[in-house]
Structure 1
């Protein structure tokens, strides 16, 4: 029986590492050291500690943000600004401490999907990202209301084209199917258990009359962030909004939504906005909405396979917590990430372990490696041109080569790995993508001048905070494996990494001699060759591809 009961007591090293890897984009060795022996609740307290909002991205052409309110002729081209924005977000992930914020910001991007090739507006993308970050550990219901007027979303799913007499149902359909309540079992050609085609049509009417603000002057009073606008005529009436009575299907109890104030047959601004509030409230009053989002959280943080047992023992009580807390993320995440089920202690079956059961995305692989090995990447605040034009373009390119166009999912449902049944995270693995994953270990240790960053594995190992005794090959290999691999490996695998790779079938005494010679002479040639070979073997192993 799967259990959401809290895991009691101190966490061992692999348990602490498991929580940190799932809740962040990868811990450093020092962070694993620091939190080993803590309780799950103590780590979660740190993960949810508020952190300051980051400064917006800057344009190397002006050394200033371009989002206040939008680019001018002095700024770089839009395509470059989009790349700077994407690199800026990667930098936040790379430098973030023990916090769940960026991990959840990315979750929201995978959920409320937009892509830069369709939106093609760096300012809209930035403010959407800022909106996700604002609600990353906050209220999902409120965010689901705000996303309806988000500039990037209005562009991406054609909400700006939806007006009375000329309905566009794209956003309304995805809002129901993907973003809130989900389909449920199909009951007709275009009808589902949780909503029908009638509901899509009626929701589209509620959502009519909104457009993206091309001048970026409209500010949301709650968040202080730039938002889209409700189109009004000179009398402040929503003349592009459908002011008719909207009648929803039995899936929503036959609910009706209509403006509470009309002038000359048009809704007032307040009345149109109130209809949007009514729509969101109607959807979130359904039990299935909480369940749909909890399933996505479960697949994101735990495992893709939701069995009948998981649905009953995990999803249903999580959804109850979600609803009882007015759709606040934090109580649900704390319940899930501190549970016996998350730490695989709710039963004695070893074949259903979720630890080491998720294939790393290219994002997790790239950012996780740069974080764990403390790879020095130029700070955007001090060296914009090098940081963004070299380092982060290289990181983005490597992710793209591995099968992930960052901030540009291939479909409106997002990246297939987070939603496409039955493959889910196995979508990350293809013949070409796997080869490129393996090549990233070469990227880390080679061509630093060409990519703006490089891992010096000798310097990393020659630090007592990282490896306690590098001259001892057993210690060296074991301490790397303990943190890089999610599960304990067999003795045969350990011997392969130690004897065949690091020692190259020479003796442990030989390695100790080479290491001591390096320490005396400063010549690291011999040990570098062996350590880089070990790094490649570890990072190119099946075990390393999992977390």
Structure 2
């Protein structure tokens, strides 16, 4: 039986490695060893530590950010979009052993946005800031804010949702994909959790909001811009449906009517329209199925895609109870899940425990995990911002991620990236013959590095100083130890002895002995030539990155 009971004792290396590989974008050896000495409560305290709000991205053309909106001297929107992408991924790379950016990405994977549809990079930045504001916080409140977020209004057509010509697109996806899920179809226009009538009534609640591309309508709770419903010259939300909306028995026959105190004549005010959305959120999030739906998404993101009947009963339902009992504050359910025996494969039923090393890394995880583990130095964002955004990311990291199958902030549909939602393949969607080939090419590409147009190195995985650092490899003269420590910290779990010996003798040493290696290393350190030791180390590291094990988390 699956168990949410917290593990006891210190984490140790294996547990710490598993936790950090799932909760961050790839740990360093030092981070793993630091967490290994912690108990799980302290580890989660560390991962959930609030961080300062990051500075917004700068435009290399001006050397300053472009908020609240771009001016005539700024780069075009396509360039600003690339800078936003680079800025966000750089936060993932540099935040370290903290869960915040992982959760920001989770929220983006769950409630996505597509720049090719929205065509406004500034709105993507503000949505990203909204997700960061609520990364450990109140999911119900976040969802309410998303309903009037400028990027979302544009993305799923709710800016076209008018009382005279309702548009149901966002209302449909809001229920089906982002909150409660439809469940099984049980009749014509009737699903387990809602009906087509509920979609129509939800769309009426959401009428009348438009994008504000000046970004000067500010939400008082977050301090971030949102869309607006009020007419420019009056307080009236004249395009909002001010009638009574009546939901079906799926939602207890709830009726939502405008508050008479928030009307101006026959029209609702913007405050009144927002109040109706808030009451609809109360209705949706009062349903048991909403909490379960969200917890299933969290489970598949952090643990495994397969949810058996036992896991539904003993993991999902208790997690959902925790989420609801704590008013949809995400930190409580994150702590419960990531502290549990089940997460660490330590349930009573060991025959079904196979979570460690069971998730195929996303391109983000593979690429950023490599950069973080090998401590690859990137251009300074203050002195070399153009190199950082246009070369390290534009010609490097973003290109690697795209070539491996993730078009970042351009998911193929409103459900998001298929590996996070598509039944039954889920994370196996990251693998195709072409994408697997580009994964295997990636290791040697990063070993070769990237240069800018002036032929100046932008980044490179330089194996010699990395191996020579005892915080990475305890004793660089010991060939067996190099292989063992690389495998221990790069792979999610141990491999058979015969496979380890293959990497040592066939890949690394080839026709040499461990004693030969020690002599070659000491000769190099004494001022001798580096070609042989560099070539051997690059061969080993490159081949380890090409293994099936390295594709897994």
Q: What TM-score bracket applies, with the shorter chain setting the length?
A: over 0.9
Match of 1:55 in 2: 55
Please tell me whether residue 110 in structure 1 is matched to residue 109 in structure 2. yes
Paired residue for 2:398? 396
2:161: which partner in 1? Answer: 162
CA distance in 1, matches of 2:127, 2:264: 33
d(CA) in 1 for partners of 2:363, 2:184: 33
What is the number of residues matched between the two proteins? 546
Aligned to 2:318: 317
8 Å CA contact 1:403–1:428 kept in 2: the answer is: yes
Is residue 322–residue 329 contact of structure 1 (8 Å, CA) maintained in 2?
yes
Q: Which has the larger displacement, 331-340 or 377-386?
A: 377-386
Per-residue CA deviations over 1:147-198 (Å, capped at 9, x if unaligned) read: 0110100010011000111001110001000111111111124321111100
Instruction: Report what 2:268 is aligned to.
Output: 267
1:528 aligns with 2:534: yes
1:45-194 aligned within 5 A: 45-67=45-67, 69-194=68-193
| 8 Å Cα contact 2:326/2:332 also seen in 1 | yes
* Equivalent in the alignment of 2:283: 282
Judge conservation of contact 2:347–2:353 (CA < 8 Å) in 1: no
Q: 2:491–2:550: 8 Å Cα contact kept in structure 1?
A: yes
List alignment gaps of at least 5 residues for structure 1: none
- Preserved CA contact (<8 Å) 1:321 1:332: yes
Aligned match of 1:436 in 435, 438, 442?
438
Q: Distance in 1 between matches of 2:377 and 2:60?
A: 20
CA–CA distance in structure 2, aligned partners of residues 175 and 489 of structure 1 = 44
1:494 corresponds in structure 2 to: 500
> Displacement, 1:405?
0.6
The 2-side partners of 1:350 and 1:537 are apart by 32
Q: Does 1:478 align with 2:477?
A: no
Displacement after TM superposition at 1:380 (Å): 1.8
Which of 419, 422, 425 aligns to 2:424? It is 422
CA contact (8 A) 2:207 2:241 kept: yes
3-state SS of 2:268 partner: strand
| Unpaired runs of at least 5, structure 2 | none
- Residue 350 of structure 1 deviates from its aligned partner by 5.0
Question: Once the two structures are superposed, what CA deviation does each residue of 1:29-70 show, in whole Å capped at 9, x if it has no partner?
Answer: 111121112111111111111110000000011100002x10
Distance 1:145 1:63 in 2: 35
Name the CA distance, whole Å, in 2 between partners of 1:125 and 1:448: 28
Instruction: Give per-residue Cα distances to partners, 1:343-402, cap 9 Å, x unaligned.
Output: 111135255320100000000001111011100011223311111011011210110000
SS in 2 for 1:210: coil
Output the CA distance in 1 between the equivalents of 2:214 and 2:60. Answer: 22
Describe how 1:217-256 pairs up with structure 2 within 5 A: 217-232=216-231, 234-256=233-255
CA distance in 2, matches of 1:359, 1:182: 25
Aligned residue number for residue 13 of structure 1: 13
C-alpha displacement of 1:325: 0.2
Shift of 1:233: 6.1
* SS of residue in 2 equivalent to 1:407: coil
Q: CA separation in 1, counterparts of 2:236 and 2:193?
A: 33
Q: Deviations over 1:125-163 (max 9, x none)?
A: 100000000000111010000001101000100110001
1:234-258 CA-to-partner distances (Å, cap 9, x unmatched) read: 4411110011111111110111111
Which one of the candidate residues 409, 412, 415 is aligned to 1:410? 412
Q: Deviations over 1:410-450 (max 9, x none)?
A: 11100000000000000000000000001110111104325
Aligned-pair Cα RMSD in Å: 1.1
Q: Is the 8 A contact 1:233 1:239 kept in 2?
A: no
Q: Which moved more, 1:507-516 or 1:390-399?
A: 507-516
Q: Deviations over 1:179-222 (max 9, x none)?
A: 11111111124321111100000000000000110111111101
Deviations 1:500-534 (A, max 9, x none): 00001421111111111111124211011110000
Q: 2:35 — aligned with what?
A: 35
Measured in 1, the distance between the counterparts of 2:340 and 2:134 equals 23
Q: How far 1:263 sits from its partner (Å)?
A: 4.0
- 3-state SS of the aligned residue for 1:149? coil
In structure 2, distance between residues paired with 1:11 and 1:370: 25
> Aligned to 2:512, which of 506, 525, 534?
506
Normalising by the residue count of structure 2, what TM-score does the alignment of the two structures yield?
0.97
Aligned twin of 1:465? 471
In the superposition, the TM-score normalised over structure 1's length comes to 0.98
Aligned position for 1:296: 297
Q: Is the contact made by 1:501 and 1:533 (CA closer than 8 Å) also made in structure 2?
A: yes
Query: Residue 47 of structure 1 contacts residue 99 of structure 1 at CA under 8 Å; is this kept in 2?
Result: yes
Task: Out of 202-211 and 374-383, give the one that drifted further.
Answer: 374-383
**Native 8 Å contact 1:59 1:84 kept in 2:** yes
